Amino acid sequence: MVIGGVETPNQIWLAPLAGVTTRPYRDFHRRMGAGLVHTEMISAIGLSYENRHTILMLGDGEEKGPVALQLFGPDADRMANAAERALRFRSFCAIEINMACPMPKVTKRCGGASIMRNPGEAARMVSVLKTFGLPVWAKVRKTDERVHPMTTGNFCAELVERGADLLIVHGRTPAQRYEGAADKDAVISVARKFPGAVAASGDFFEPADAEYYLSSGCAAVFAARGAIRDAFLIPKTLDYLGSSVYEKFLNPSIAKQIEILTEACRAAESIEGGRSALIMGRRLLSGMLKGVPGAASLRRMCAPCADFESFERILTDFRPGGI
């Protein structure tokens, strides 16, 4: 199927998650069945200085499935400059503009959610990025009439008018950050206004949440905190929706979970080295072995590990209830 101008095997996608969606983490969720994955949000200003750390966040061109590049920045010119540099390093399936991040370190530099207060600049960003010939997406939040000049629907209409191929709507206002319930119906009402052009974000924790969004007209659903809390949320959801999923990722046994985790970490180590494997391993572990006796002690034992070898040893020695 084609969503937002991108060919994808399904409608369950891994959201952009700063500090989380590194190359190995994306690989893990792609293996789990995610139809598309995102980079972390990447600073347009960092890219324009070709900051080494920022460049590393792009990953390499070896990834197999669709990867969307998410950029944040203060204005259209800097976004265009950043996109041009990023695309010199590798290809992406789409360029997504972050108009949703509410964190002060981003908004005080006029990026993220602050763009929603300036619909003219938001529209210009879409126009200039369209010149790269890739689909252009915008991730936005539900607006708040006290601070935003436009409703979510009208703001999105401006972006669509400039050629945005997909709008990702998170049903919380910037002031809510990540608190309170996401307003799924606000997302759905925008999806009905732009059929096939709206993906949903917010409170996807169970397969039924994704089904609700999709059956109400959303084109795709972003797995964010849900995928961090439950590493198997994506295959579980695909199965629930009737898509085929590798059997081994559905309700994996304890031994299988350890095996899957170890394999993912070894793959991470081969791509980015032991430190990256260790960080990702700890993160994945926090979303695995839920309800297993001894899992909490296992996580505690892994927390201070200074190197990947000791982490791997602790995992291999794990016996449920025996730690």
Interface residues toward ligand FMN, by CB under 6 A: 15-18, 20, 40-41, 70, 98, 100-101, 139, 170, 178, 182, 201-204, 222, 224-226
CA distance 171 to 192: 14
* Residue 36, number of CB atoms within 10 A of its CB: 27
Q: Which uninterrupted H or E stretch holds 41?
A: strand 37-43
Whose tokens are 């970490």? That residue is 265
Q: Which residue, 139 or 236, is less far from ligand FMN as judged by CB?
A: 139
CB 70 to ligand FMN: min, Å: 6
Bridge partners of 38, per DSSP, are 68
Query: Is 305 labeled as catalytic in the residue annotation?
Result: no
DSSP state, 157?
H
Nearer to ligand FMN by Cβ, of 80 and 113: the residue is 113
Residue 37's DSSP bridge partners are: 67
Find tokens 């101008």 and name the residue.
5
CB of 155 to ligand FMN, least distance (A): 16
Catalytic pick from 93, 101, 218, 265? 101
Q: Which CB sits closer to ligand FMN, 100 or 258?
A: 100
Give whole-number Cα distances, 53 to 1, 112, 179, 227, 268, in Å: 34, 20, 30, 25, 18
Smallest distance, Å, CB 82 to ligand FMN? 15
Q: Which is nearer to ligand FMN, 134 or 258 (CB)?
A: 134
Work out how close the CB of 176 gets to ligand FMN at its nearest, in angstroms, rounded to a whole number.
10
- Of residues 22 and 312, the one with the C-beta less far from ligand FMN: 22
What is the token pair recorded at 174?
Answer: 């910037």
- The helix (H) or strand (E) run that includes residue 139 is strand 136-141
Do 168 and 189 touch, CB atoms closer than 8 A?
no
The CB density around residue 131, as the number of other CB atoms within 10 Å, is 12
Q: In angstroms, what is the minimal distance from the CB of 119 to ligand FMN?
A: 18
Taking the CA of residue 50 as centre, how many other CA atoms within 13 Å lie in the half-sphere pointing to its CB? 5
Catalytic residue numbers read 101
